[in-house]
Amino acid sequence: MSNSSHPISPSDTHDKQEITVGDYVVNAKIGQGSFATVYKAQHKTTQRIVAIKSVSRSKLTKKLQENLESEISILKAIRHDHIVGLIECQQFLYKCI
């Protein structure tokens, strides 16, 4: 991977080599904000399409890090048809659909 501030960098998705994150194959970058980039990915076995949110924690203030942890806690606890569901979290990457 390149020396980007995100675990998955935009240039990685242009390489011919398959980029994987756990059991997911990254297909394309679908969005970017000040602190995070979102990628479209597919589970290797189930073929389920997900969004992977890659957050650059080094760019976050202490308050924004606390807000991120709060968002993760809420998403772990909530299940609703109209709210994005959290599948799993990894210390270096957050995946949600």
Binding-site residues sit at: 53
User: Edge-to-edge, what's the strand order for the sheet holding 86-90?
Assistant: 20-21, 24-32, 36-43, 49-55, 93-96, 86-90
Q: Annotated binding residues for ATP, as ranges?
A: 53
Q: 76 near 86, Cβ under 8 Å?
A: yes
